[in-house]
Chains A and B, each alone.
Chain A
């Protein structure tokens, strides 16, 4: 296929724009902080900070790809978190039971969202807005308005612990193997994999010189992989993209539109349940006011990652970079001692800048 140089350049930018932005940001912060940003400890922390938003962004990717939106996830995280807290503190459940409760609650709430959106044929914006308020209210009711702590040691450890060196080797080896396989299949477009490869190298180095692969990051990795597989390798994924590309055409092609919508919001709920479980561990407590604005962070990550808000185009890997970028911003500004008030303003500006550079969004 003979593409012109200009076309190739455009293509390169489309594929790598978000990565380039991420790297530029990283370099700037490294210089600015006199190298602190690039320290193994900080990079490990950065990945841990990106985990929750990354998991939620993965779910949000699927939702937005169908042309929908889910505003309820912040509240759903809070409600599921409260249930985890109750299960750990009040009912004395084991870790396994607690996580099952969180996942089941999140899935259930997502399923309700999906059922309402598909059967009532109402706008996802409205339904999930309603669910946002309802779930927050339930979180406050179940908790009596106050936070619940402390969590069991097991849960704390899960949220803050690290894999041993051997397991870190194995995990990174597996990731690298998949990566090389992908590289081989796409060898004509080798350049498109350059940046992810560099990032993988830098993070691997950090894990080994600091304390190993964080447990939290494994959850993020697993969710991203699962989402990628769903989107790229299953009929559901094809349905999601078709639905977002042109819902009417999807209808006439016999795509089970209602089922796809239900699946997408249910998965989003499941992911929110997992995020709630991990958040409770990280905070060592459950707070009914937790998760405020999480939905907006997730949407921002997805949008920065180049997923079209109209639906139909974009990938979960893009959203992962979006989440990393947001975490980098927070982390870098913390290092620089920028007050959190100014951080908000800057974050907003970066979101607008990132989106204005992206072609997908401009069409939306």
Chain B
């Protein structure tokens, strides 16, 4: 059978960074191909090549669709060729109806007037095919994430897509929604569509895929029938080494002194009516306390509220270093020796147009009054020294932070927080978007910090990371604490079970 899609010798680099190196991949009709690899292995880049986000001039290699060579200048071209990409973070228009969302960019119109009836009927037709339990007239914002995904799939089908690329579609779905999605995907497969399924979840890959293709450091390292490979082999291929070497050996630095005690902490964000808690826990000096759970479990949010984020109204008893603070601003907790590294580096941390020195000094300087003097020279020297201490690679302190790689940017943000000499560090996805080498360094740093007597609250969606680094793990779901696990109880399945809210079963 001829291939629906054949990618040959794809290479793509961003400046000096080679993101893809001679990658080949093919997909047959009626096949589900799982594409796996670590974060940063090049999966997303490859799919952006396939979907025309990177025009054909910007990479090397060829794309063939149903045996014919294709050159995409934009996502519109690839869509016309029958390829649809369904993103991890859905790009929907919340204030438009479901039907309108399905025709955005392809409005059926006559002399500039929208054909409302046709839009509605078309949407209804395709949603019916997928057994959707909602109406095309509903606002997109009234749907759950799972339902929105169904809309995206219906949209792709309505445009005659033969190839669907799904990027971690289940990352924010409930178990039942996932099962429903799988049924839809299997149905599409039986109708002759080709599916590329990107996921980290082993059980999904083995339940769904026919073949699996493994990317590592921008190269395709293996491609095999799913029936001929075991989970352990697949992981081995993904990481390229056995798991033990990905993390430094755990050395507990936990002291017998409680730094922080939180009792019945409840937080409420008025604007979104998000309610979190109650949460109770204690944190020892030198301890790394992990927070596990699914995306949207409220881990980041409740810790931000704890640190005094003024978006939340909170109550409950906090006992920190023998005091009972009630912080109304982040600055108040920073002043008391807290530090916070937010999860979304680009949007929540970087000052893109400013120098490394300004990026590093901003938190510490903000503690002072507005009209106090900044000693530029001392700032610059301090920055150089502190960045070097974390082995950051940079030319000059006057460089813009956006010139650095993800890992080095993260070190700048660490420096920003460390300059304030924190006792309690909240690290939210500290290794997201960071390459493997820098990850290891970050793990070492975390161990060094706890060895110095600092304490860490670690939020991570990377389970192996969470288990390797934490002394204890609190599993959360729907804003509530589900379970506290000690190191001897760490197990991926156990954590997932509690994260899904099914631990007690």
Contact = CB atoms under 8 A, between A and B. Distances in A.
B and A form one assembly? yes
Contact of B374 (A235, A251, A256): A235
A233 B374 CA distance: 5
Contact of B370 (A245, A248, A254, A263): A263
Contact of B353 (A250, A255, A308): A308
Interface stretch (B62-70, B112-120, B277-285, B355-363): B355-363
A322 interface: no
A255 B349 contact: no
Residue of B352, B366, B376 with most partner-chain A CB within 10 A? B366
Contact of B368 (A232, A235, A253): A235
Nearest to A310: B353
B366 A254 contact: yes
B309 to A, nearest CB: 9
A252 B365 contact: no
Contact of B366 (A232, A234, A235, A245): A235
Given A249-B347, A249-B350, A242 B362 contact: yes
Interface in A233-292: 233-239, 241-242, 244-246, 248-256, 259-260, 263
A245 B352 contact: yes
Given A246-B350, A249-B347, A249-B348, A233 B376 contact: yes
A124 interface: no
B353 A313 contact: yes
B354 A248 contact: no
A306 interface: no
B370 A256 contact: yes
Contacts of B371: 234-236
A345 interface: no
A238 B369 CA distance: 12
A246 B331 CA distance: 17
A234 B374 CA distance: 5
B49 to A, nearest CB: 26
Interface string B395-420: 11000000000000000000010000
* Binding site secondary structure of chain A: helix
B471 to A, nearest CB: 26
Contact of A235 (B334, B347, B365): B365
Contacts of B352: 245-246, 312
Interface string B362-399: 11011111111110100000000000000000011000
Contacts of B334: 254
A1 interface: yes
A82 B248 CA distance: 72
B354 A234 contact: no
Nearest to A241: B354
B347 A248 contact: yes
Interface in A133-165: none
Contacts of A1: 395-396
A263 B370 CA distance: 9
B463 interface: no
B330 A237 contact: no
B340 to A, nearest CB: 7
Contacts of A250: 351, 362
B156 to A, nearest CB: 32
Contact of B330 (A246, A254, A313): A254
Given A238-B358, A238-B361, A256-B331, A246 B370 contact: no
Interface string B59-82: 000000000000000000000000
B107 to A, nearest CB: 30
A14 to B, nearest CB: 13
Given A248-B348, A254-B331, A312 B366 contact: no
B244 to A, nearest CB: 35
A256 B370 CA distance: 9
B366 A255 contact: yes
Given A251-B330, A252-B330, A254-B330, A242 B351 contact: yes
Given A260-B370, A263-B370, A312 B330 contact: no
Contacts of A249: 347-351
A227 to B, nearest CB: 14
B342 interface: yes
A43 B369 CA distance: 42
Interface in B324-343: 329-331, 334, 340, 342
Contacts of A254: 329-331, 334, 363, 366-367
Residue of A239, A251, A312 with most partner-chain B CB within 10 A? A251
A255 B366 CA distance: 5
A234 B370 contact: yes
Contacts of B342: 252
B356 to A, nearest CB: 13
Contacts of A245: 351-354
A237 B374 contact: yes
A28 B289 CA distance: 69
B370 A259 contact: yes
A238 B416 CA distance: 14
Contacts of B368: 235
Contacts of B348: 248-249, 252
Residue of B330, B361, B362 with most partner-chain A CB within 10 A? B362
Contact of A256 (B361, B366, B373): B366
A270 to B, nearest CB: 14
A312 B370 contact: no
Contacts of B376: 232-233
Contacts of A255: 362, 366
Contacts of B350: 246, 249
Interface in B208-254: none
Contacts of A259: 370
Contact of A239 (B340, B370, B396): B370
A253 B370 contact: no
Nearest to A229: B373
Nearest to A312: B353
A246 B351 CA distance: 5
Contacts of A244: 353
B373 A233 contact: yes
Nearest to A262: B370
Contacts of B367: 254
Q: Which 6 A-B pairs have the closest CB atoms?
A: A245-B351, A254-B331, A312-B353, A236-B370, A313-B353, A253-B363
12 contacts: A233-B374, A235-B371, A239-B366, A241-B353, A241-B358, A242-B362, A245-B353, A252-B330, A253-B362, A254-B366, A312-B351, A312-B352
Interface of A: 1, 232-239, 241-242, 244-246, 248-256, 259-260, 263, 308, 312-313
Interface of B: 329-331, 334, 340, 342, 347-354, 358, 361-363, 365-374, 376, 395-396, 416
Given A250-B351, A313-B353, 9 more contacts: A235-B371, A236-B370, A239-B362, A241-B358, A246-B352, A248-B347, A249-B350, A253-B366, A263-B370
